[in-house]
Amino acid sequence: MAEVLGRADRATSPARLLRREAVRVAILSAVVASFSFLLGSRFTALFHGSSATVGGLWSLISAVVVLQATRRATLDSAWRRLFGTFIGAALSAIYLSLFPFSVAGLALCVGVSVLGGLVAGAPDHARLAAITVAVVMVTAKADPTVSPLLDAALRFVESSIGTAITAAAVFAWPEALPAGRSYGP
């Protein structure tokens, strides 16, 4: 009996759990990145074929940014990603509906999104909104024939695809918990 308990202790040692978690996160990263790219690019191709690769990339980036070591941290990151992306996409759509792309406009929108997030006490949201502003505005510059509303909506949905895939993945393969802990109440 003592031998069995000794093996159980070694199997759940902190170092072994850490290695197991590192492998889990690495595999999850690869899986969510590939699925996010495939679904994001296919989704975008339905509406704007020439930006399908950008759509896949934006979904992949969202998936990797959202994935954290724990389920709780991943879900917190997912909500921040969705909120920040929504703010950045909306701000960009409004600007680009009124004015053409310019570096000064890009700087203005990035600054406004960061200021708004910081004043609201949400620096992570501000950072994600600023990144979204940059992506939406640069893709608008690359193809000015796409309506600003479609461009912003595509970038938001692509980000949502990567975020949803990552959230599903951490529920399908959650982190290992130390002995005596459970996921439930």
Residue ranges per structural domain of the chain: 21-172
Give the pLDDT confidence score for residue 35 in this predicted structure: 98
pLDDT at 183 over 50: no
Give the pLDDT confidence score for residue 17 in this predicted structure: 65
Residue that is written with structure tokens 């093996």 in the block? 7
Asked whether the beta carbons of 140 and 92 are under 8 A apart, the reply is yes
User: What is the 8-class DSSP label of residue 99?
Assistant: S
Separation between Cα atoms, residue 32 and residue 23, nearest integer Å: 14
- CA-CA-CA-CA torsion sign (83, 85, 87, 90): negative
Tens of pLDDT, residue by residue over 90-121, are: 999 999 999 999 999 999 999 999 998 888 88
pTM for this prediction:
0.83
Separation between Cα atoms, residue 3 and residue 25, nearest integer Å: 31
